[in-house]
Structure 1
Amino acid sequence: MTREAESVDVLVGKVMRELRDSAGLTQAQLGAVMKISAAQVQKYEFGANRLSAQRLFELARYFGVSVEDFYRYVEPTACDKGGAPTKAHFYQTDEGRKLAADYCNLPPAYQQAVQAMISTLKTQARKA
Structure 2
Amino acid sequence: MAAKRTLLNPVDSQVGSRMRARRLVLGISQEDLGKAVGVSFQQIQKYEKGANRIGASRLQKLAHALQVPISYFFEGMGVGTSDTESDDLMAFLATAQGLTLAKGFMRIKSPIVRRRILEFVASVADD
Per the alignment, residue 41 of structure 1 pairs with 44
Counterpart amino acid of residue 48 in structure 1 = A
Unaligned runs of 5+ in 2: 1-5, 82-127
Structure whose CA Rg is larger = 1
Counterpart amino acid of residue 22 in structure 1 = V
Counterpart amino acid of residue 20 in structure 1 = R
Per the alignment, residue 57 of structure 2 pairs with 54
Partner deviation per Cα, 1:37-90 (whole Å, 9 max, x = no partner): 110000000100000000111111222211111011423218xxxxxxxxxxxx
Normalising by structure 1, what TM-score?
0.54
Residues 11 and 73, structure 1, Cα contact 8 Å, conserved in 2: no
Per the alignment, residue 25 of structure 2 pairs with 22
Residues in 2 aligned to 1:5 and 1:69: alpha-carbon distance in whole angstroms: 20
Residues 58/9 of structure 1: CA separation in 2 closer, same or farther (3 Å cut) = same
Residues in 2 aligned to 1:5 and 1:45: alpha-carbon distance in whole angstroms: 12
Residues 37 and 65, structure 2, Cα contact 8 Å, conserved in 1: no
Partner deviation per Cα, 1:91-117 (whole Å, 9 max, x = no partner): xxxxxxxxxxxxxxxxxxxxxxxxxxx
Regions of 4+ moved over 6 Å: none
* Between 22-31 and 39-48, the greater mean CA deviation after superposition: 22-31
Residues in 1 aligned to 2:17 and 2:74: alpha-carbon distance in whole angstroms: 10
Question: Residue 70 of structure 2 is aligned with which of 67, 71, 78?
Answer: 67
Normalising by structure 2, what TM-score?
0.54
How many residue pairs get aligned? The number is 76
Unaligned runs of 5+ in 1: 79-128
Residues in 2 aligned to 1:15 and 1:53: alpha-carbon distance in whole angstroms: 16
Matches within 5 A, 1:97-108: none
Residues 28 and 37, structure 1, Cα contact 8 Å, conserved in 2: yes
RMSD of aligned residue pairs (Cα, Å) = 2.2
